[in-house]
Amino acid sequence: MEQIENYIGILYRIYSYMIIIYVLMSWLPAVKESFVGELLGKLVEPYLRPFRKLIPPIGGILDISPIIAYFALGFVAQGLIAVLNFFF
């Protein structure tokens, strides 16, 4: 059981770092258009898209949806661990 919790934690950290790097790359368009930027976009954008639909950019410029998505990812990871602990 502890091993599954560790895997969930590792996956959470990896994906949260991917979100952070993707957001930071958005400030540098040349980097975002690179191979790594496009790969991260394909992996992260499907997760961010629903949050962007729910939370419009503030003032048309400041997009806070990745912050909400980051916290939601943490809640999901903790929820999975709690459910697994409950049943096992």
Answer yes or no: is pLDDT of 1 > 90.
Answer: no
pLDDT value at 66 more than 90:
yes
* Predicted TM-score (pTM) of this structure: 0.89
| Percent share of the chain, pLDDT over 70 | 100
Q: Round the average pLDDT of the chain to a whole number and report it.
A: 93
Q: 53 to each of 43, 50, 76, how far by Cα in Å?
A: 18, 5, 19
Task: Return the DSSP state at 18.
Answer: H
Contacts of 64 (CB under 8 A, 6+ apart): 55, 57, 58
Say which residue the tokens 């992260």 belong to. Answer: 44
- 28 or 60, which is more confident? 28
Domain range annotation of the chain:
1-87
Instruction: List, as one string, the DSSP characters of 24-71.
Output: HHTT-HHHHTSHHHHHHHHHHHHHHHHHHHHSPPBTTTB--HHHHHHH
Does residue 25 contact residue 32 with C-beta atoms inside 8 Å?
yes
